[in-house]
């Protein structure tokens, strides 16, 4: 402990207002900050904590820091590299004008540095996640044997991780915390901050301190890891967690480090080799050391231009029911209601339900970016925008993904239980109650043939399209046009 050091934490309108956030997201961040400040104080550190509605709160980082430096006669300012480009530019500008010394330190909450991916792919035209993933495994000696060879003979066991949830199978009930955050909720509402979603502020279910985050990690490896990989892509009504870890919020708020999460999962596998199959573990490790780090590397390599990319020149507004869940499509109704209720949806719900529909409907990437950034508790721009604008919407033209991730009802039916009892018929492509995904799917490929026909990963779909009878094509395109013209009624 250094008595000359004072830690500063702030609740700011500049951070609550740059996007319209889910109420649980704002509460979760503020509660975690307040608990971290208390933990620092309990260890004897000096802490200044500026609450949202403090009269002295000037509501931006730079103004509050300038006032405190003057009042307290501080002689040196230090900060950790921000995770977002927006804040990075803010602090560069602010510190360049300071009349006292300033220093910046890198974060220890990632496996890679900001520029590591950029350096790895220097001079390359393609940035394959699999290449980066193998590099990271070797560098950090994760799941290797005989030097730099992958454990169990393969780097990737993804083909074992795509099973549908059986109808009679009931997933393990998620661990939910009972946190009373009503005072924070009250302060947010008193400040007039515009939020989305709902919250039970007497029973806040997300971890808001390190102890709870560690408890959630232990729960995952003991109760969910053994079936995580098998069902990581599956979807079912009223099953919002299934076997997912839901640790992204704790990692993104730095209550947990990704390394301790990965190490804990690996430790559990080796302790219980008869209970946890290797593909369950590898799929989880790949999400963190591979995909999470890859997305961050792309972010710092391509910002700020990345935030403007719109490969398909899409321009439509997000359907109104994205904010209410009031649609007759079961898959979207369930995924959106879940997001509004829990500030959470797992990666396939985001990619192949809400993202899939938005891409098929020609929604402007800015619209979907704002929605994803606001609605999910784990959404911070460095990870949100590359997943949304890149992986989900292919707005980057293939920087992140090698093809657009679109599907008809066939995929949704294969990987979920949503289609059972839906107002729309998954088997019908045109006509009354035909599933909108079917005609919109073919309309998307028809509309963007000039940009996509030569893509080797989807050439087969254009072969199918070309073999269709002209009248069948016309019916599909007319059905799609009708749905797009009545999109808020679906």
- How confident is the model over 214-267, as pLDDT tens digits? 999 999 999 999 999 899 999 999 899 999 999 999 999 999 999 999 999 999
Residues 441 and 483 in one domain: yes
pLDDT higher than 90, residue 7: yes
pLDDT value of residue 167 = 84
Residues 78 and 120 in one domain: no
pLDDT in tens, 173-220: 999 999 999 999 999 999 999 999 999 999 999 999 999 999 999 999
Last residue within a domain, chosen from 270, 302, 334: 302
Mean pLDDT taken over the chain: 95
Residues 360 and 286 in one domain: no
Residues 130 and 235 in one domain: yes
Mean pLDDT (whole number) for 296-316: 97
Residue 421 located in a structural domain: yes
Local confidence band at 4 (pLDDT 50, 70, 90 cut-offs): confident
| Residues 434, 427 contacting (CB under 8 angstroms) | no
Residue 360 located in a structural domain: yes
What is the Cα gyration radius of the chain?
A: 24
Last residue within a domain, chosen from 246, 267, 302: 302
Residues 327 and 475 in one domain: yes
Q: DSSP secondary structure string, 34-82? A: HHHHHHHHHTT-EEEEE-TT-TT--SSHHHHHHHHHHHHT--EEEEEPP
Task: Record the tokens describing residue 326, joined without a space.
Answer: 């009031």
Residues 412 and 349 in one domain: yes
The domain containing residue 56 runs over which residues?
Answer: 6-105
Residues 251 and 288 in one domain: yes
| CA atoms lying within 13 Å on the CB side of residue 35 | 20
Domain total in the chain: 3
Last residue within a domain, chosen from 276, 302, 328: 302
Residue 111 located in a structural domain: no
pLDDT higher than 90, residue 159: no
pTM of the model: 0.94
pLDDT value of residue 1 = 58
Residues 409 and 372 in one domain: yes
Residue 194 located in a structural domain: no
Task: Record the tokens describing residue 305, joined without a space.
Answer: 């231009």
Mean pLDDT (whole number) for 389-418: 94
3 state SS of 280? helix
Burial 141-165 (b: 16+ CB within 10 A, else e): ebbeeeeeebbeeebbbbeebbebb
Task: Look up the CATH number of the domain holding residue 77.
Answer: 3.40.50.620
- What gap in Å lies between CA 254 and CA 16, rounded to an integer? 19
How many percent of the chain have pLDDT more than 70?
A: 100
Residue 205 located in a structural domain: no
Place of tokens 């991730």: 405
Which residues, 6 or more positions from 225, have their beta carbon under 8 angstroms from its beta carbon?
Answer: 243, 265, 268, 269, 276, 280, 281, 284
Residues 463 and 343 in one domain: yes
Task: Record the tokens describing residue 112, joined without a space.
Answer: 């890679």
Q: What is the DSSP letter of 90?
A: H
pLDDT in tens, 31-64: 999 999 999 999 999 999 999 999 999 999 999 9
- Least confident piece of the model among 88-97, 163-172, 333-342, 408-417: 163-172
Cβ-based burial of 365 (10 A; exposed 0-12, middle 13-18, buried ≥19): buried
Task: Look up the CATH number of the domain holding residue 273.
Answer: 1.25.40.80
77 — phi, psi (to 5°)?
-120, 125
- What gap in Å lies between CA 368 and CA 374, rounded to an integer? 10
Residue 469 located in a structural domain: yes
pLDDT value of residue 456 = 87
Task: Look up the CATH number of the domain holding residue 470.
Answer: 1.10.579.10
Residues 123 and 162 in one domain: yes
- Least confident piece of the model among 356-365, 418-427, 448-457: 448-457
Q: What is the DSSP letter of 171?
A: P
Residue 157 located in a structural domain: yes
Residue 204 located in a structural domain: no
Q: What is the DSSP letter of 141?
A: T
Alpha carbon distance, N-terminus to C-terminus of the chain: 60
pLDDT in tens, 350-392: 999 999 999 999 999 999 999 999 999 999 999 999 999 999 9
pLDDT higher than 90, residue 302: yes
pLDDT higher than 80, residue 161: no
| Residues 289, 111 contacting (CB under 8 angstroms) | yes
Residues 32 and 77 in one domain: yes
- Least confident piece of the model among 125-129, 139-143, 176-180: 125-129
Residues 242 and 391 in one domain: no
């Amino acid at each position: 402990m250094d008595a000359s050091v004072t830690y500063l934490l702030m609740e700011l309108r500049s951070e609550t207002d740059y996007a319209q956030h889910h109420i649980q997201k704002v509460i979760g961040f503020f509660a975690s900050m307040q608990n971290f400040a208390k933990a620092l104080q309990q260890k004897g550190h000096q802490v200044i904590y500026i609450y949202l509605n403090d009269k002295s709160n000037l509501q931006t980082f730079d103004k509050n820091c300038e006032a405190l430096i003057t009042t307290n006669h501080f002689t040196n300012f230090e900060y950790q590299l921000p995770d977002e480009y927006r804040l990075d530019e803010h602090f560069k500008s602010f510190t360049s004008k300071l009349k006292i010394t300033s220093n910046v330190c890198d974060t220890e909450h990632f496996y890679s540095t900001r520029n590591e991916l950029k350096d790895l792919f220097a001079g390359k035209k393609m940035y394959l996640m699999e290449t980066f993933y193998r590099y990271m495994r070797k560098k950090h000696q994760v799941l290797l044997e005989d030097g730099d060879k992958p454990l169990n003979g393969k780097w990737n066991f993804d083909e074992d991780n795509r099973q549908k949830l059986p109808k009679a199978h009931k997933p393990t009930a998620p661990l939910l915390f009972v946190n009373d955050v009503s005072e924070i909720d009250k302060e947010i509402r008193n400040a007039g901050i515009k939020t989305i979603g709902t919250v039970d502020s007497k029973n806040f279910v997300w971890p808001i301190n390190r102890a709870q985050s560690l408890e959630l990690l232990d729960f995952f490896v003991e109760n969910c890891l053994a079936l995580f990989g098998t069902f990581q892509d599956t979807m079912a009504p009223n099953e919002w967690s299934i076997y997912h870890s839901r640790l992204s919020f704790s990692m993104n708020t730095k209550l947990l480090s990704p390394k301790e999460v990965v190490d804990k999962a690996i430790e559990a596998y080796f302790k219980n080799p008869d209970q946890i199959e290797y593909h369950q573990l590898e799929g989880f490790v790949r999400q963190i050391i591979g995909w999470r780090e890859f997305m961050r590397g792309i972010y710092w390599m391509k910002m700020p231009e990345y935030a403007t990319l719109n490969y398909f020149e899409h321009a439509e507004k997000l359907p109104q029911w994205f904010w209410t869940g009031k649609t007759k499509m079961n898959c979207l109704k369930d995924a959106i209601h879940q997001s509004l209720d829990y500030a959470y949806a797992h990666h396939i719900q985001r990619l192949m339900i809400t993202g899939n529909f938005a891409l098929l409907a020609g929604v402007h990437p800015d619209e979907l970016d704002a929605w994803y950034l606001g609605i999910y508790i784990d959404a911070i721009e460095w990870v949100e925008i590359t997943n949304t604008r890149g992986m989900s919407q292919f707005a980057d033209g293939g920087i992140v993904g090698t093809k657009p991730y679109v599907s008809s009802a066939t995929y949704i039916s294969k990987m979920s239980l949503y289609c059972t009892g839906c107002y729309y018929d998954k088997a019908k492509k045109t006509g009354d109650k035909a599933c909108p995904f079917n005609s919109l799917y073919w309309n998307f490929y028809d509309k963007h043939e000039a940009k996509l026909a030569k893509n080797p990963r989807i050439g087969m779909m254009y072969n199918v399209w070309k073999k269709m009878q002209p009248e069948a094509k016309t019916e599909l395109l007319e059905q799609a046009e009708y749905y797009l013209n009545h999109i808020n009624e679906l």
